[in-house]
């Protein structure tokens, strides 16, 4: 049984991951900024009698991370597995997104990871044992307007994680990057329901991509179960694409040169919809302005 700390567990991938580890018998500290948002997780934990404890950690705060992780380590002993999942995904063009939003999403998605890593690494290094799994996205390797504010943080996280894995390996500390595609989470549904007032054409058609994708079953448990598998398997593989469209989208991007990809993203709506239909068989126009998501 490992002691596992997971950030961002109030919903979505974080909650699913906490449940996957708890059901496997690991001792889980499921952290979030506001415990009042953890009611559903607490209900399932209590109903199933899982070894999952909800705790407060705000990854944007130096003091919250430092004190929260120190308190958990004092109560439970060393943390064996750290899963950095906390994050959010704003939509918007570079021109129209306030600088404060860029700073806020970087604070959570990137600097929040660094805070947590720095809090657990000394003890892992001293024990010469540990596992750090960072939840990135295929958006950490594919830039696709209008998700630039979010994608910038995930590109940064990918570089951080690759360097961190090199630093940790001599001390037997495994590092891994999980790269989900479109997964049915509250964040994905917000993107699907987004109605654009932008001067740029990308936002509405991007929402249509999410609506169409969410018609198929792609629960957050797919990611939670894969993270559990990574932690338990002892693998040193760095990157793990997860979800029905993750590997296909990564392969699609690799089929383009950089210049071709820029041209693809710059197409007008009609040409872009036709390209998606011809290349991927996705008739996204059918989902534009008529977004209806399946019930959860």
Set 150, 200, 252, 273: catalytic member: 150
The model's pTM is 0.95
Q: Is 273 a catalytic residue?
A: no
Provide the pLDDT for residue 291. Answer: 56
104, two tokens: 């806020």
pLDDT tens digit string along 153-206? Answer: 999 999 999 999 999 999 999 999 999 999 999 999 988 887 778 888 788 888
What pLDDT is stored for residue 290 in this prediction? 55
CB proximity list for 55: less than 8 A, separation 6 or greater: 29, 30, 31, 68, 71, 72
Please list the ranges in the chain whose pLDDT falls under 50: none
CA 51 to chain CA centroid, nearest Å = 23
State the CB neighbour count (10 A cutoff) for residue 103.
Answer: 11
pLDDT for 196: 76
* Predicted local confidence at residue 200, as pLDDT: 86
Cis peptide preceding 146, ω within 30 of 0: yes
Q: Tell me the helix, strand and coil percentages in the chain, rounded to 5.
A: 55, 15, 30
């Amino acid at each position: 049984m490992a002691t596992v700390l997971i950030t961002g567990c109030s919903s979505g991938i974080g909650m699913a991951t906490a449940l996957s580890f708890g059901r496997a018998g690991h001792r889980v500290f499921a952290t979030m900024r506001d415990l009042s948002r953890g009611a559903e997780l607490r209900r399932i934990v209590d109903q199933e009698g899982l070894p999952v404890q909800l705790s407060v950690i705000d990854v944007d705060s130096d003091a919250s991370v430092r004190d929260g992780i120190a308190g958990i380590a004092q109560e439970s002993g060393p943390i064996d597995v750290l899963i950095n999942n906390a994050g959010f995904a704003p939509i918007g063009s570079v021109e129209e997104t306030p600088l404060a939003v860029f700073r806020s999403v970087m604070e959570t998605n990137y600097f929040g990871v660094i805070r947590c890593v720095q809090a657990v690494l000394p003890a892992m290094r001293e024990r010469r044992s540990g596992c750090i799994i960072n939840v990135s996205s295929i958006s950490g390797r594919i830039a696709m307007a209008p998700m630039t504010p979010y994608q910038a943080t995930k590109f940064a996280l990918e570089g951080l994680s690759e360097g961190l894995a090199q630093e940790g390996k001599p001390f037997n500390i495994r590092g891994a990057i999980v790269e989900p595609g479109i997964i049915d989470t509250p964040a994905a549904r917000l993107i699907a329901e987004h109605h654009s007032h932008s001067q740029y054409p990308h936002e509405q058609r991007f929402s249509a991509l999410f609506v169409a994708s969410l018609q198929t079953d792609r629960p957050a448990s797919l990611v939670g179960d894969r993270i559990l598998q990574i932690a338990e398997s002892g693998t040193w593989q760095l990157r793990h694409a997860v979800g029905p469209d993750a590997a296909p989208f990564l392969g699609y991007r690799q089929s383009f040169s950089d210049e071709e990809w820029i041209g693809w993203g710059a197409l007008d709506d009609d040409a872009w919809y036709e390209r998606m239909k011809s290349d991927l068989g996705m008739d996204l126009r059918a989902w534009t302005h008529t977004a209806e998501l399946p019930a959860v």
